[in-house]
Amino acid sequence: MVGETRIRPMRAGDVGAATRIYRVAFGTLLKAPDPARFRLDIGTVETRFATDPGAALIAEREGRVVGSAFGMDWGSQFVVGPITVDPAHWRGGVARRLTSGILEVAADRKASLVSLFTHPNSTTHLRLYESSAFVPMFLTPILSKAAGGRASSQSADYRLYSALPPVEQEHALERSLGVTEGNLAGLDLRREIRAIEAQRLGETILLGSANGLSGMALCHIGAGTEAGDGTLFVKFAAVLPGAAAGFERLLDAIDALAMERGVERILAGVNTGRRDAYRRLLARGYRAVAVGVGMHRPDVPGTLRPDVYVIDDWR
């Protein structure tokens, strides 16, 4: 008889087992030749745990780790995932228990919107999340393009958070709320900006204007981060709604940073509910390498609106 599933907070000693399950689970789902070696250059589990240990859970059966769940606390928006289960325990109710557990964390954090990214061609995943009151919204293509080619002098006014003195970093964090809350009340990416700096995961681009901060891009760069080897991954980027010209300048700045760091490609996820933002990335040569569907709880648009210029990846 299979033992009872126990959900508990993740501890530092669990990270190795959780990482192994993450690789095997996704490698099996995506039919990798050797699931145990899937995405060896990516450090999602390690970086998510270091960023917010309180939003990381473990599933245990008979004292053995069989799955994990993470959340990203973005203020009023809480992003669920990844949730991964050892394939030997698939369809055993572990994912459902982990989902319930991470939703309790979201409730404790008082998030008004809970979001996630899942596989649109998997009825199993859709049913799982719909049973927890999530509603499918729009597709989120994960877009990629070769680095280089488009950066221009228009990007010259950007600064890097890492280059600022500590006092100015604190001012930049406060000013970042003007950009995020301009897109969604209570949206707050300060935890992610601090994590990029503290863990040396990449850089945060700060786009200037006459009135202060007009845009920002939180970028993971290289192996051991959520980007992977030779990649700049835009974890989150935003300008204010309707600021199409500012969005183009921010994309120029991302291009410039990618060329400066010598990466091979840029990776960015853009939900198609943000119509113009999506089209502008396509016009720059970005092409889909994967696709997911965004789901919300409750059924509200959040930042998935045509006038919004936000890049984010909820995987």
Taking only the tens place, the pLDDT of each residue in 215-263 is 999 999 999 999 999 999 999 999 999 999 999 999 999 999 999 999 9
Q: How does DSSP assign 275-287, residue by residue?
A: HHHHHHHHHTT-E
- Dmax (CA) for the chain in angstroms is 67
pLDDT score at 1: 39
Distance (Å, rounded) from C-alpha 232 to C-alpha 273? Answer: 24
Distance (Å, rounded) from C-alpha 246 to C-alpha 277? Answer: 11
Q: Could you tell me the pTM of the whole model?
A: 0.94
Residue 39: Cβ-neighbour burial (10 angstroms; 0-12, 13-18, 19+): middle
Q: How does DSSP assign 83-124, residue by residue?
A: EEE-GGGTTTTHHHHHHHHHHHHHHHTT-SEEEEEE-TT-HH
Backbone torsions φ then ψ of 34, nearest 5 degrees = -130, 90
Distance, CA of 182 to chain centre = 19
Taking only the tens place, the pLDDT of each residue in 13-59 is 999 999 999 999 999 988 999 999 999 999 999 999 999 999 999 99
Q: Which two tokens stand for residue 145?
A: 């393009």
Nearest to residue 189, comparing CAs of 273, 69, 310?
A: 310
Task: Give me the domains of the chain, ranges plus CATH numbers.
Answer: 5-111 (3.40.630.30), 143-293+302-312 (3.40.630.30)
Q: Percentage of the chain surpassing pLDDT 90? A: 92
Taking only the tens place, the pLDDT of each residue in 169-196 is 999 999 999 999 999 999 999 999 999 9
pLDDT score at 271: 98
Inform me whether the pLDDT recorded for 153 exceeds 90: no
Inform me whether the pLDDT recorded for 154 exceeds 60: no
Taking only the tens place, the pLDDT of each residue in 46-100 is 999 999 999 999 999 999 999 999 999 999 999 999 999 999 999 999 999 999 9
Using 50, 70 and 90 to split pLDDT, how confident is the model at 155?
A: very low
Residue type, 305: R
